[in-house]
Structure 1
Amino acid sequence: MKFAVIGGTGLIGSQVVEILNSAGHEAVPHSKSGGVDVISGRGLGEAVAGADVVVNLTNSPTFDEASPAFFRTSMENLLAEARKGGVGHFVILSIVGTDRVPELAYYRAKALQEEILAAGPIPYSIVRATQFMEFMDAVMSWTADAGTVRLPATPVQPIAAKDVAAAVAEVAAGAPLNGIRDIAGPEIFTLDELGRITLARKGDDRTVVTDPTAGMFAVVKGDVLTDKDAHLAPTRYTDWLS
């Protein structure tokens, strides 16, 4: 099969391309730097031409109130070109619980992306993942100073990017779900606990202070964890750190 991987040079996209090509498919990465712009529409028709499957892994450049507009425009442009090109399966990567945290503009934006895809003309699959292990340093940096890192006790179930890429590739190569598949790491932590584990493993002597108001994840509650039907990935956090 031929795959057009939009956002195919990023953390997840580059691995999805490698996995699909290693399996004997033809997966072509596309990105803004390569001349494909999901907002202006430049290069989209050429990118999806002849593709059996479109995998959209592009992301909003911001997490704020501008993010819904990004996902609306990008999805409308991509779906229009994919329909004209006869694409038979459209895949996106979303977030577990994105429809249950309306307080966050970015989560509302991802929920909007899902709604646009589900209402569109093309058979589809949505892969929802929990927070990436690779993002932990960024999460800590939002509320850190020289001596402390403030984090809420929000339950998280981190997943390694390589496991996300494997799941996206598997779904993309299969029949359209016309629904959602949840994927998550095998362990649940609180975010402050995860911060302490991370700093200890790195020999960082800063102190993690539990602060229920700190950072973007302060408003994310425990009910956004995966349910019993989720697909659990194999990589454990301490193994990933090692």
Structure 2
Amino acid sequence: MKIVVIGGTGLIGSKVVRRLTGRGHEAVAASPRTGVDTLTGKGLAKALEGASVVVDVSNSPSFEAAAVLEFFETSTRNILDAEAAAGVGHHVALSIVGVRRLPDNGYFRAKIAQEDLIKGSGIPYSIVQATQFFEFGKGIADTAAASDGTVRMPSVLFQPMAAEDVAEAVCGVAVGAPLNGTLEVAGPERFRFDEFIREVLNANGDPREVVADPHAPYFGSELRERSLIPDDGAATLTTTRFEDWLRGSGPGA
């Protein structure tokens, strides 16, 4: 089966392509690096010729609110139009657990717009909503660094997962029948957000102090206790524990 992976050269996309290829599928990585630009539509029609499934794990090059909204709206419309023309029978997209709980967050608002376009397209679809990735821990800390050198984080519940497990969940959905709905996936452990970031920095040998601050923003939004985690029993839990990830492929490897 031919499966086109939009964003197929990125963190998740490259893992999805590798896994699908290993299962005997024709997995095509589509990204600006391979001559496919979903913002302009360049190379998109050709890439989708003969495709049964399109997996969209692309990401905006900018997190600024207007830019990220423009990216996901324009890119998603172009992809869906190309799928309709090519007769693609299944659109799979990666989104975020709790995305509709933070409509004031510019990035989350853009992902909501993406989800709504997919649901209204008439093309059979599956949306995989994942919690945050272990791999993003240091980047989150960097964005939360205060002028005094501390890293200020809210002490809310946090249930991150490994990028490899995200890719596995996306692959499992891509090779199955369309859900015409949403699958939530999350890591097997819950942390306090500040505690997790503290562990990430310790594993990186980063001496910055992590300070629990209930009003510290997460990409512009103040979080509530359960903003970023799935409802109890609502998600499929993955198997990679944070400590095991650190030993195997993280900064502690």
When the two structures are superposed, what TM-score results if normalisation uses the length of structure 2? 0.91
Tell me the equivalent position of 2:16: 16
Query: 1:2 touches 1:50 (CA, 8 Å); kept in 2?
Result: yes
Check if 1:34 corresponds to 2:34: yes
Query: 1:103 touches 1:219 (CA, 8 Å); kept in 2?
Result: no
In 2: Cα distance, 1:49 partner to 1:230 partner: 34
Displacement, 1:35?
A: 1.2
Q: Alpha-carbon deviations, 1:129-156, whole Å to 9, x = none?
A: 0000000000001122675222111221
SS in 2 for 1:90: strand
Tell me the equivalent position of 2:215: 213
Q: Alpha-carbon deviations, 1:69-109, whole Å to 9, x = none?
A: 21111111110010110100000000001011011011011
Q: Alpha-carbon deviations, 1:161-216, whole Å to 9, x = none?
A: 00000000000000000000000001111111112222333343332111223342
Tell me the equivalent position of 1:222: 225
Superposition map of 1:176-215 within 5 A? 176-215=178-217
Tell me the equivalent position of 1:127: 128
Deviation larger for 223-232 or 208-217: 208-217
Opposite residue 64 of structure 1, the aligned amino acid is: E
Q: What is the aligned length? A: 242
Could you list the runs of 5+ residues in structure 1 that have no partner in the other structure?
none
In 2: Cα distance, 1:96 partner to 1:106 partner: 13
Tell me the equivalent position of 2:236: 231
In 1: Cα distance, 2:163 partner to 2:210 partner: 25
In 2: Cα distance, 1:199 partner to 1:29 partner: 33
Query: 1:149 touches 1:207 (CA, 8 Å); kept in 2?
Result: yes
CA RMSD for the aligned pairs?
Answer: 1.4
In 1: Cα distance, 2:78 partner to 2:23 partner: 29
In 1: Cα distance, 2:204 partner to 2:34 partner: 36
Opposite residue 97 of structure 1, the aligned amino acid is: G
Opposite residue 226 of structure 1, the aligned amino acid is: P
Displacement, 1:239?
A: 1.4
Query: 1:5 touches 1:56 (CA, 8 Å); kept in 2?
Result: yes
In 2: Cα distance, 1:42 partner to 1:197 partner: 43
Query: 2:6 touches 2:58 (CA, 8 Å); kept in 1?
Result: yes
Query: 2:14 touches 2:29 (CA, 8 Å); kept in 1?
Result: yes
Opposite residue 163 of structure 1, the aligned amino acid is: D
SS in 1 for 2:33: helix
Opposite residue 202 of structure 1, the aligned amino acid is: N
Superposition map of 1:51-90 within 5 A? 51-66=51-66, 67-90=68-91
In 2: Cα distance, 1:113 partner to 1:123 partner: 15
SS in 1 for 2:196: helix
Opposite residue 235 of structure 2, the aligned amino acid is: A
Rate the CA distance shift 1:123–1:214 in 2: closer, same or farther, 3 A. same
Query: 1:90 touches 1:125 (CA, 8 Å); kept in 2?
Result: yes
Displacement, 1:112?
A: 0.8
SS in 2 for 1:222: coil
Displacement, 1:241?
A: 1.4
In 2: Cα distance, 1:204 partner to 1:68 partner: 33
Opposite residue 120 of structure 2, the aligned amino acid is: A
Q: Sequence identity, in percent?
A: 51
In 2: Cα distance, 1:201 partner to 1:105 partner: 30
In 2: Cα distance, 1:121 partner to 1:113 partner: 14
Displacement, 1:223?
A: 3.0
Opposite residue 235 of structure 1, the aligned amino acid is: T
